[in-house]
Amino acid sequence: MIIFFAMMGALLVLMLLGSPVAVSMGLTSVFTLGMLRGFDAIPWDMLAQRIVYGVTNFTLLAIPFFLVAGRLSNEVKVTDRIFDCAKTLVGHFKGGLGHVNVLASMIFAGMSGSAVAEAGGLGQIEIKAMVEDGYELEFSTALTAASATIGPIIPPSIPMVIYGAVAGESVAKLLIAGFVPGCIMGVTMMALLVLMAPWKGFKAKPRAPFREVFAALRRGILPLLAPVILIGGIVGGIFTPTEAAAVAVVYVMLMGIIYRTLTWRGLCNVLRESMLDTAIILFIVGASSIYSWVIARYQVTDSIVNWMGSVVSTPLMFLVIVNLFLLLVGCFIDATPALFILTPVLMPMVKQYGIDPIHFGVMMVLNLMIGLVTPPVGTVLYTLMRVTGLSLERLSWAMLPWYVPLVISLVLVTLFPGISTWLPGLMLGR
């Protein structure tokens, strides 16, 4: 236990001092080994092997493909078509563009798998449209940040792929398991919009005529089919989740060619940015492999399991404690490194308490998505700050109401495992 808290403390200190995540994990691991074994007895060859072992995982190939698919969707202007579809469907409700914001994010989630990609691409369109329609900039940006967290919950999802790879669980089941929780997140946000309508003075607008709805759906039919093709292919056994990521890239490229919005310069920019992000993630993967190996080597996980067993008596109490812990961690550590660091530590306890790993994975990812919109290290907040020019203080205050639907969704997913496990059980079996 002392080793675990010392390593977590050192890791947080290094990151708060501005050290990159991968470097922080590597330095913490090496320093811990030096203190326990002596700095002249650090097994450098073993550390190198662990790094190589960590990145040679076939499932992780899905990450660069999903990154490319999300960025390419923004590049070929698919987001415009998605927004227009959502606007004709729900734009007539009170707070109409707020509902459009949420629904568009839910649709785009079926293509991107990344909250940052959704906030940086579709978010710009959503905020611009809401501000031009008279909505406050802070309100529009906060809603956009909250709705962007749906992206990694509704399949496909980069965090679900990471959790599945690290935990050794079915990525296909994890992807499908996020669909219902993602819909719950969207519904609770829309419910809050309805409750806020009298207070904010939202006005209802005329319903779009059927001709406009049909025209928007016709323009957006290819983006709307993307999640159906991806999930249908996985469920039907046509391709694996990793291959589905490659299919997503090809499909988005075809849309760009059909819509004549794909350019060589744009494609090269997308590939370059995705390559840099992939390299960063793989550095984190390699460093987290060392970090996890040190924890396992000195039986830190066993100590935590024994301690939790003596203190926590029920699975529900364990989940409550883990949720509170993850909400705190999410304030300081981004979702990707948190998954790599904490999944190996928590999985033995998940199995000890008889909790379904698929249910736990959805709960863990949803929890860490809340961290993406929570200061001081909220990646989505900083992405939207660059887009809008808002300060962190103003955006954080505007975010306060939107934590309510996020927390309600987390509580529901935690208390009712069937929300996560019913659909994958129905479609893929136990």
Task: Name the amino acid, one letter, at 238.
Answer: I
Q: Where are the domains of the chain?
A: 2-428
The residues, ordered by sequence, that sit 6+ positions from 276 with a Cβ below 8 Å of its Cβ are: none
Query: pLDDT per residue over 284-309, tens digit each?
Result: 888 888 888 888 777 776 777 777 77
User: In the chain, pLDDT over 90 holds for what percent of residues?
Assistant: 34
Query: Mean pLDDT over residues 195-209, rounded?
Result: 80
pLDDT of 372 over the 70 cut = yes
pLDDT for 255 equals 92
Band of residue 59 on the pLDDT scale cut at 50, 70, 90: confident
pLDDT of 345 over the 90 cut = no
Decide which of 11 and 1 is more confident.
Answer: 11
Band of residue 56 on the pLDDT scale cut at 50, 70, 90: confident
Q: What is the pTM of this model?
A: 0.88
Dihedral pair phi/psi, residue 216, rounded to 5°? -65, -40
DSSP track, 109-140:
HHHH--HHHHHHTHHHHHHHHHHHTT--HHHH
Query: pLDDT per residue over 41-55, tens digit each?
Result: 888 888 888 888 888
Cα–Cα distance, 128 to 169 (Å, whole number): 40
What letter would DSSP give residue 208?
A: P
Decide if 83 contacts 298 (C-beta within 8 A): no
Decide if 152 contacts 107 (C-beta within 8 A): no
Query: pLDDT per residue over 88-123, tens digit each?
Result: 888 778 778 889 999 999 988 877 778 887 887 788
Band of residue 32 on the pLDDT scale cut at 50, 70, 90: confident
Cα–Cα distance, 329 to 90 (Å, whole number): 36
DSSP track, 340-388:
HHHHHHHHHHHHHTT--HHHHHHHHHHHHHHHTTSSSS-HHHHHHHHHH
The residues, ordered by sequence, that sit 6+ positions from 223 with a Cβ below 8 Å of its Cβ are: 73, 78, 81, 82, 85, 107, 108, 111, 255
pLDDT of 1 over the 70 cut = no
Decide if 49 contacts 36 (C-beta within 8 A): no
Cα–Cα distance, 106 to 120 (Å, whole number): 15
Band of residue 76 on the pLDDT scale cut at 50, 70, 90: confident
Cα–Cα distance, 175 to 241 (Å, whole number): 8
Band of residue 430 on the pLDDT scale cut at 50, 70, 90: low
Enter the tokens of residue 14: 């290094």
pLDDT for 281 equals 85
